[in-house]
Amino acid sequence: MKKGLSIQFKIVAMLLSLIIIPTVVNSYISVKLSSNTLGDEIKNSLNNNTGYIEDTLNLFFRNYEQDISILAENQNIRTFAGQHEESDDAMNALDIYQQNNEDIQSVFLGTSSKEFFVYPIQTVPEGYDPTSRPWYQAAVNKKGVIWTEPYQDAGSGNLVVTVARPVFNESGDIVGVVGADLSLERLKDMVVSFRIGENGYFILADTKGNIIAHPTAEKIGQPLATDVLREAAQSSQVSGELDYVYNGASKHTYFSTIDRTGWKIFGTFEYTEITNKTNPLLISSVVTSVALILLSIFLAILLSRPIIKGIKSLSNDLLVIGNGDFTIRSKVKARDEIGLLSSTINKMTEELSGIMSNVKNMAAEVSTSANSLAASSEESSATTEEIARTIQEIVRVTEDQAFNTEEGLKKTTQLAEKIQAVSEEIGKIAALVRSSSQLNEQGVQSVEVLKQTAEENNEATKKVGEVITEVDKSSEQIGVIVDAMSDIANQTNLLALNASIEAARAGESGRGFAVVANQIRILAEQSASASNDIRQLANSIQSQTKNAVMTMDEAKPVVIAQNNAVSEAKAIFEEISTTIMKLAEEVEVISELNDSMIQKKDEILSTMESISASAEQTSASTQQIAASTHEQLAAADDVAKTAEDLNLVAQKLSEEISRFKI
């Protein structure tokens, strides 16, 4: 017989399969989960920082829009642009604006009469027409603040952008445009200072896809490196995520849009940063797996050695028994199944020895009985007729048994079909349990993310409350300042009125002074009106701030309740997970029991089929026996001769038994 795989090899293979498969699956899941978690953390950080930069830049541009609007509303600028008077005051206003804003390189005013003034004072080419310039026309067409695309300043070499706003006269007509060239150096440094992970960075690009800010200074002013990024910069999409390949490296970027300019902020990192951080975990998993495999091989060999030794000893003992020596006894003294097998073999040997001894004695008795058999043959003839009648009754009973056995076989077949249906349903339940377990794991992960988000939201709510409190205090200070400004405006108005009265008394010589006093009075009234508007705004801010504080106080219990709900949800998911695991174990036990039941079902079905066939055969045989009984009457004479032959066989059996050692 061809030798198959050894038991030791099978034990080692079984242990290795039990160790390798869970270890490999666990290592893969651990590395995959770590990679996904790290990727999500980097992407969340990327999105948050991009949003922060967007808010900062929007605030940056909004402040300069407000400043240029204040400059355009300056009375000196409006008067000069509309009436070409008091040019020194207008230039002083431009000077003050430029000095108070460190990012402003130059500030200028173009009038509808094609005059152009700039500070710091520069030489303007002869015939320069500001009304034909793109910034002038864009501001006039929009009738509001406009931003140009960034460009490189010829004098400083810095990247600048122009902000401009129309100047309106008292009638609401546009009499000029005031603008400023804003250096983007500080803005670039701010964008470049943000980093994501080890290699992540941020890019600022205009609506044409040209780079405004980049960690590599040589790329500023150049188009974005890939078509994917350029298309995103030129599109109207406000925000989004992209994957692209640059210089053979796979990268991920998140972009958002600055509302006032349409420029795009791109936050980028390389996927290799994730793999670099998960590689140590992968290496550790591989080393651990190899160590477990080697340990499993060692333990399998160590544990299987006594088993193999006991099996070989029992095999040798059985070989001796097979040769007819029933005096040998197994010497294996183990306390396991091998020891039980050794005891069973010893018991079997003793039983066989006893059986052979009995057979030997019975052979002698058979020889003696054969002699008396001849004498009994005559009596057999008399009883054969009685046997024939009895056999006829047996035939009838046997036919009934065959019919009942056939019915039993049908019922057993129906039972087998029901058992098979139960087995299929158990398989479906096991699949549903596994699916529920997977969904529950996803739920636990989602609750964990929700808990982290709730904690971040709670922290942000606290910070917002602090900021609102500071705004409330600042608005109260604004109210005090506005009251002081209102008092000054009223006093100025009163002084201007007194000055007008004195100028009237002075006659013709005080006429010029009266004009000045009247202008001062007008300015005082405007200041009082503006102070009143500011007071109303400050009161509105204080009211809204108090409402915000109340809302924040109302939100605190909600946030606490949300955190408690998240914690409770997590605990419930964990309890569900435990329940599902227990259910899976019970389903596994049911599945094993069902498999055993199917096996027993098949055995019962086979047995019933055998019984049915045997019943039919018995019925036929019984009828045949009935027919043969009459023939036995004629064969009674042959019994004597058969008895003699039996005596010879008994002697031969005794000779064969003598070969065994018992």
Decide if pLDDT at 621 tops 70: no
CA 524-527-531 angle, 5° bins: 140
Any bridge partners for residue 325, and if so which?
Answer: 661
Range scoring the smallest mean pLDDT among 76-85, 137-146, 341-350, 565-574:
565-574
Residue 15 has pLDDT above 90, yes or no: no
pLDDT at 419: 64
Q: Between the ranges 27-31, 56-60, 85-89, 616-620, where is the mean pLDDT highest?
A: 56-60
The CA dihedral of 533, 539, 542, 543, to the nearest 10 degrees, is -120
* pLDDT per residue as tens digits for the range 302-327: 777 777 777 777 777 778 777 777 67
Most confident range, picked from 63-77, 357-371, 514-528, 558-572 = 63-77
pLDDT band of 99, cuts 50, 70, 90: confident
Which residue spans within 189-303 are E strands per DSSP?
A: 201-205, 211-213, 239-246, 249-257, 264-270
Report whether pLDDT(365) > 80.
Answer: no
Across-strand partners of 257?
A: 264
What residues pair up with 249 in beta bridges, in sequence order?
246
Q: What is the pLDDT of residue 558?
A: 66
User: Please, which residues have CB within 8 angstroms of residue 150's CB and are 6 or more apart in sequence?
Assistant: 159, 160, 161, 184, 206, 210, 212
- Proportion of the chain above pLDDT 70, given as a percent: 70
pLDDT at position 377, please? 59
pLDDT tens string 583-609: 667 767 767 776 776 776 677 667 667
Query: Among residues of the chain, what percentage have pLDDT more than 90?
Result: 11
- Residue 84: which pLDDT band, with cuts at 50, 70 and 90? low
Q: Which residue has the tokens 């205009």?
A: 206
Domains annotated on the chain, with CATH = 7-65+189-295 (3.30.450.20), 74-183 (3.30.450.20)
217-225, long-range: CB < 8 A, 24+ apart: 220/159, 220/188, 221/152, 221/159, 224/266
3-state helix vs strand vs coil in the chain, percent to 5: 75, 10, 15
- SS3 assignment, position 270: strand
Closest CA to 81 of 176, 164, 10: 176
Q: What pLDDT was estimated at residue 135?
A: 93
Would you say residue 39 has pLDDT above 60? yes
- pLDDT at residue 14 greater than cutoff 60: yes
Residue 164 β-bridge partners: 146, 179
- Mean pLDDT across the stretch 559-572? 70
Q: What is the pLDDT of residue 62?
A: 92
What pLDDT is attached to residue 281?
66
Asked if the model's pLDDT at residue 375 lies above 70, the reply is no
623 vs 102, more confident: 102
Rounded to whole angstroms, how far apart are CA atoms 223 and 229?
10
| pLDDT higher than 70, residue 35 | no
The pLDDT tens digits of the residues spanning 115-170 come to: 888 888 787 788 889 999 999 999 999 999 999 999 887 777 788 999 999 999 88
CA distance 42 to 36: 10
What tens digit of pLDDT does each residue of 405-455 get?
677 667 667 766 766 776 676 677 667 667 766 766 776 676 677 677 767
pLDDT beyond 60 at 285: yes
Position 426 scores a pLDDT of 67
Residue 25 has pLDDT above 90, yes or no: no
What mean pLDDT is reported for the chain?
A: 76
Q: What is the model's pLDDT at position 339?
A: 76
Q: Residue 162: which H helix or E strand, with range? A: strand 159-168
Whole-model pTM: value is 0.43
Task: Specify the DSSP element, H or E, that contains 111.
Answer: strand 104-111
**pLDDT band at residue 548 under the 50/70/90 scheme:** low
Question: Is residue 240 a contact partner of residue 248, using CB atoms and an 8 Å limit?
Answer: no
Cross-sheet strand order for the sheet of 201-205: 211-213, 201-205, 264-270, 249-257, 239-246
H-helix or E-strand containing 175?
A: strand 174-183
**Mean local confidence (pLDDT), 14-22:** 76
Provide the 10 A C-beta neighbour count for residue 546: 13
Q: Which has more confidence, 270 or 622?
A: 270
State yes or no: pLDDT of 515 exceeds 80.
no
Give 554's Cβ-side CA count (13 Å radius): 6
- The pLDDT score that the predictor gives to residue 535 is 73
Work out the average pLDDT over 354-365.
Answer: 74
pLDDT at position 471 is: 63
pLDDT band at 576 (very low <50, low <70, confident <90, very high): low
Asked whether residue 374 carries a pLDDT value surpassing 60, the answer given is no
Nearest-5° Cα angle at 64, 60 to 69: 150
278-294 b/e (C-beta count within 10 Å ≥ 16 → b) = beeebeebeeebeeeee
Helix (H, G, I), strand (E, B) or coil at 588: helix
pLDDT tens digits, one per residue of 237-271: 988 988 888 888 888 888 999 988 899 999 888 87
Mean pLDDT on 340-361: 77
Total Cβ atoms within 10 A of residue 326: 20
Picking from 88-92, 376-380, 416-420, 495-499, which range would have the lowest pLDDT averaged per residue? Answer: 376-380
pLDDT band at 108 (very low <50, low <70, confident <90, very high): very high
